[in-house]
Amino acid sequence: MINRREFLKTTAVAASAVAVASSNNVFAGETTTSHAGAGVVYTEQQQGQWKGKAGSHAPKVTVTDGKVSVVTEHPMTEPHFIVRHTVVLADGKVIGGKTFSHTDKPESSFDLPAGYKGKACATSFCNMHDLWVTEFTV
């Protein structure tokens, strides 16, 4: 039998592979639900099983003076909260991530690389309603 640590490591690697494959579809402008991330990654346009939850789960993004601010308008309670924000550039480079507890506000900010222009995405992970992605252009 596989030990718990090995199981968690394998699960994390598999989840990361699906998220990377899905982010490529986000950047390619994929609008169908047949891509690799369907049912795993949700957006404002592709809410899947969580239809009606985008307003409180899809990250809101603003870019000002080379800084990306991410806010998820979600109540934070011990049984239901936003776990993490991440910002990823179009080439797959993660420029930052912030992990939350149920007592935190789901707000974060990250510095863009100097002179960056192009697409990026912000992620918001809810412990009950999965991974949500918002694509934006700088």
* pLDDT number for residue 35: 53
Distance CA 41, CA 100 (A): 19
Concatenate the DSSP letters of all residues of 81-116 into one string: -EEEEEEEETTS-EEEEEE--TTS-SEEEEEPPTT-
* pLDDT number for residue 39: 74
* pLDDT number for residue 25: 53
Distance CA 61, CA 28 (A): 19
* pLDDT number for residue 103: 97
pLDDT, averaged per 10 consecutive residues of the chain (138 residues), comes to 46 40 48 57 94 95 97 96 98 97 98 96 97 97
Tokens coding 32: 């169908």
CATH code for the domain defined by 4-137:
2.60.40.730
* pLDDT number for residue 7: 44
Element (H, E) at 123: strand 119-126
CB count in 10 Å sphere of residue 129: 19
CB count in 10 Å sphere of residue 76: 15
Distance CA 17, CA 50 (A): 22
Picking from 10, 131, 109, 15, the residue whose alpha carbon sits closest to that of residue 62 is 109
